[in-house]
Amino acid sequence: MTRTHASPLRRALVPAALVAAVLMAAPAPALAHDVLTGSNPKDGATLDTVPEEVVLSFNNEPMAGGSGSAVVVTGPDGETTYQDGEPAFDGLDVSVGLLTLDEAGEYTIGFRVVSSDGHPIQDGLTFTVTEEAVAAAAPEDAAEPGGVAEETAAESAPAEEVEASEAAAEEEGGLPVGVIVLAGVGVIAVAAIAIVAVRLRKDSPTE
């Protein structure tokens, strides 16, 4: 009986084939989706100044535009929204302007963007604005002297002064100018009638 011996090359290929089979059978690692890497304001931050915009940063560039993208900033009452316009895309950043934040408390940033691989990314962040920050951001006309309220009062002052002067004249017994003028016109009319009557009497024949 003759025994056959495997060649050295064949003996080397057997372990390699087993390793390849194991690698092919192992599950492939899942592809990582784009994620949020940071924000301004930061999640959970307490701010002493009112922010003028919200900036969200991602590890890859989100797809710009489209109806699937939105950034909504909701106030402490849970209803009022403060985002100003549509989100702007700049590389890895997505930003949106803010209207003046007029309430102290916790604000919520809700966002939805389409990642570079076409999958949607949506999540929520929060930040808190202090009362001092809100007071500092209040419109100057409402906070400083000489604002709109005082200008309105100054414009209405002349009319009030005229009314007060007329009331004072009546209390002192003085006659209003209009009454004096009417009296003068009446006197002139009576005098004219008297003159005409005298002339007619002179011109009439004597009996």
Instruction: Say whether pLDDT at 93 is over 70.
Output: yes
pLDDT at position 189: 65
pLDDT at position 7: 58
Q: Residue 188's pLDDT band (boundaries 50, 70, 90)?
A: confident
Q: CATH 2.60.40.1220 spans which residues of the chain?
A: 36-138
Sign of CA dihedral 155, 157, 163, 165: negative
Nearest one of 77, 53, 75, 50 to 138, comparing CA atoms: 50
Nearest one of 162, 131, 54 to 99, comparing CA atoms: 54
Within 53-118, strands assigned E span: 53-58, 70-74, 83-90, 93-98, 105-114
Per-residue model confidence as pLDDT tens digits over 115-144: 988 889 999 999 999 999 999 998 775 545
pLDDT at position 163: 64
Q: Residue 23's pLDDT band (boundaries 50, 70, 90)?
A: very low
Domain spanning 36-138, CATH architecture:
Sandwich (2.60)
Q: Which residues lie below 8 Å from residue 166, measured CB to CB, with a gap of 6+?
A: 176
